Structure 1
Amino acid sequence: MNDRLTARDRRRAIVDMAWTDGRAGVGQLAAHFGVTESTIRRDLALLTSQGQLARTYGGAMAHGLVYEASLGQRAREGFRQKQAIAAWAAEQIGPGETVLLDAGTTTGQLARELREREQLTVVTIGLTVLNELADADGVDVLCLGGRLRHISQGLVGPFAEAALERVTADRAFLGADAVTVENGICEANLEQTRLKEMMMTRAEQVYVLADASKLGQRPFHAWARMPATWTLVTDDGAPPAEVERFRAAGVEVIVTGTKAAT
C-alpha cells in the first residue's frame, strides 16, 4: 500500500472495505495499509464516533451488518492484548481462593495462566476454561452446567443459574462483547447478561476483562448492570479519553502493557 496515503484517505478506504467485505479486521487493515494496529484502532474509534462504522470483535463493520462472532474468530483477534490482561488478572489470585471465570477467549487465557497453581478452586461456565484446566491437577474445577451456546462455547440458562446460587467466590472475572460507562456489559444474548449479573453478586471482587476494542461500544442490545464497585482491566491501546470516562464514574481501571510490540 502507498505509504504516502493520508489518514483521511486511509479512513475512507477502511469504510469502503467494510462495506465491500462485510467486516474489516484490525490485523488485516494494519497489514493492508502498512501501519500499526494502534493506528488502525484509532481510525476505527474515530469512524465509529462519526457513525460511519459499527465496532465488533477486533475490527469494524458497516452499520446493519453487526453479528456475533464465533469463539474461533475472537481467538484470532488481539491475542497479545488478551495475554497481557490475563497475566495481570492471574497475579491478583492468591492461594486458597475460589474464583468465578466467565466463558470467552480472555478468560480462557486466564485459565491457562492458572494451570500450575495449587490450592485453587475455579468455578466456570466456559468450555475454554474447562479445556485449559482439564489436566491441572492442583486446581479444583467446578462446572456450573446449563445449556450450551455453541457460538460462544459458554453455558447459560436456569441450570447454570441454580448452580450459581449455591456458591460464592473471592473474585469473578467476566468477559464482554463490549462495555460502556452508562450501561455496563453488552452482550448478544439476554441469558448471558442475566448470568453475568448473578456472577457479580456471588463474588467479593468483580473484574471485567475487555481489550481496548470493546470500550464504549454498543454492538448489541442486551446489557448487564454493574455493581457499585468493580474493576475494568484493558490494554494500552485503550483511548485515554475513554479510560478517563470510566475513572470519572468511579470505576477502577487497570491498563496493561502488551507482551510484544505491535
Structure 2
Amino acid sequence: MARDGAQTRRSEIVRLATTTGLASVDELSDHLGVTASTIRRDLAKLTAQGKLARTYGGAMPLTHPTEASLRQRLGEAFTAKQAIARWAVSVIESGETILLDAGSTTTALAQVLKDAGDLTELTVVTAGLSTMGALAETDGIDVIALGGRLRTMSQAFVGPLAESAIARLSFDRAFMGADSVHPERGICEADLEQTLLKELMMSRAAHTYVVAHGAKLGKSPFHAWAVMPPRWTLVTDESADPVAVHAFRDSGVEVIIARHSAD
C-alpha cells in the first residue's frame, strides 16, 4: 500500500513538473502533504529513472514546455474567455483610454467591445495584431497601434519602439494577457522582451487587470516574469481551482470570477 502511495505521489510530481515547468521542493511538499525530505527522495528516484532533471531546490521536466502560437490559443477555453471578456467590458466607461495587451483573451475582449454599442469616445491602445484587426472599423473607438518588432508566435509588437510609445501614454485601465499568472511571481511569459513591455504598460495604468482563465493560475511554464504593480485585479472564470484562487486572495490580489452564463 505504501509503495502504491509513493508511485501515485511520484506520478503527480512528474505531472506538476510537466505542466508548470518547475517543481520546487517546498511547493511539492505543501501540495502533497509530505515532508521535504520525502520529496527529495522522490526527486532522486525520478531523476535516476530519467523522468525528471534535478535543479537547485527542485526539478524540471526533461522536455520544457513550448510556447503555443496565438492561432492555437484562439481556439482554447472559448467559453471561459468569453465570460472574462464580458465582465471586462462591463467595467469600461465611455471616454476612457484603455490598454489591451496582445493575446487570445484580450482578442475576445476586443470582439465583445466591438459590439458594445453603449460605449463611445473610447481610445484603445494595443500591441496585438488581432486586437487591431477586431477594432479597425469600429465606430466610436480610436485605435492607437504600438510599433516595434513583430513576434510571430504572439502576433504582437515588442522592443524599444513599443516601449518608447508606452512612455508617452497613460491609461485608465490596462487589460493584460498572460501565458500563466502566479500570486507571488507575477505574469509568466516565454520571452523577456514581453515581460518588460508588460511592466511598462502596467506602470502607466490607473487600474491593472490580468485576464486569465482557470487553467493559467499558479503555473510556471517558462522562466521570464513581469513584476506586478502594488495593486492589481485578477479576472478569471468559474473553472478556476478554488485553492489557486485562495492563494491569490491570500497574497492581497483582488480576484473576480466571471460566470460562464451571460445571465
TM-score of Structure 1 vs Structure 2, range by shorter chain: 0.7 to 0.9
5+ residue gaps, structure 1: 1-7, 13-45, 57-61
Aligned partner of 1:230 in structure 2 is 232
Cα distance in 2 for residues equivalent to 1:76 and 1:141: 25
Q: Whole-Å Cα distance in 1 between the matches of residues 19 and 200 of structure 2?
A: 27
| 1:173 aligned to which of 167, 172, 175 | 175
Segments of structure 2 that go 5 or more residues without pairing to the other structure are 21-60
Name the SS for the 1:50 alignment partner.
helix
Corresponding letter in the other structure for 1:231 = T
Correspondence 1:210-225 to 2 at 5 A: 210-225=212-227
Task: Look up the SS of the partner of 2:165 in the other structure.
Answer: helix
The 5 Å alignment of 1:189-228 reads: 189-228=191-230
Mapping 1:26-175, distance limit 5 Å: 50-53=13-16, 54-55=18-19, 64-115=63-114, 116=117, 117-175=119-177
- Give the partner amino acid of 1:228: P
1:255, 1:224 → 2: CA distance? 23
| Pair 1:242 & 2:205 matched | no
Flag the 1:240–1:184 CA change in 2: closer, same or farther, 3 A. Answer: same
Q: Counterparts of 1:113 and 1:55 in 2: how far apart (Å)?
A: 30
CA gap 1:248/1:227 in 2 versus in 1, 3 angstroms: same
Code of the residue aligned with 2:169 in structure 1: it is V
Question: Kindly, what percent of the aligned residue pairs are identical?
Answer: 54
What one-letter code is carried by the residue in structure 1 that aligns with 2:212?
A
> Distance between the aligned counterparts of 2:239 and 2:79, measured in 1?
11
Larger Cα-atom Rg: 2
Give the deviation of 1:47 after TM superposition: 9.3
Q: SS of the residue aligned with 1:51? A: helix
Q: Is the partner of 1:95 in helix, strand or coil?
A: coil
Write the letter of the residue equivalent to 1:130.
M
User: Which digits, 9 at most, give the CA deviation of each residue in 1:199-233, with x for residues without a partner?
Assistant: 01100000000011110100000000011100000
TM-score w.r.t. the length of structure 1 is 0.77
> Counterpart amino acid of 1:218?
S
Give the partner amino acid of 1:52: R
For normalisation by structure 2, the TM-score amounts to: 0.77
Residue 50 of structure 1: CA displacement? 2.7
For residue 174 of structure 2, give the secondary structure of its aligned residue in structure 1: strand
Which secondary structure state, in structure 2, belongs to the residue aligned with residue 121 of structure 1?
Answer: strand
Cα 1:63–1:235 shift into 2, 3 Å:
farther
Rate the CA distance shift 1:152–1:213 in 2: closer, same or farther, 3 A.
Answer: same
CA RMSD in angstroms comes to 2.0
Aligned length: 212
Q: Give the drift of 1:259.
A: 3.5
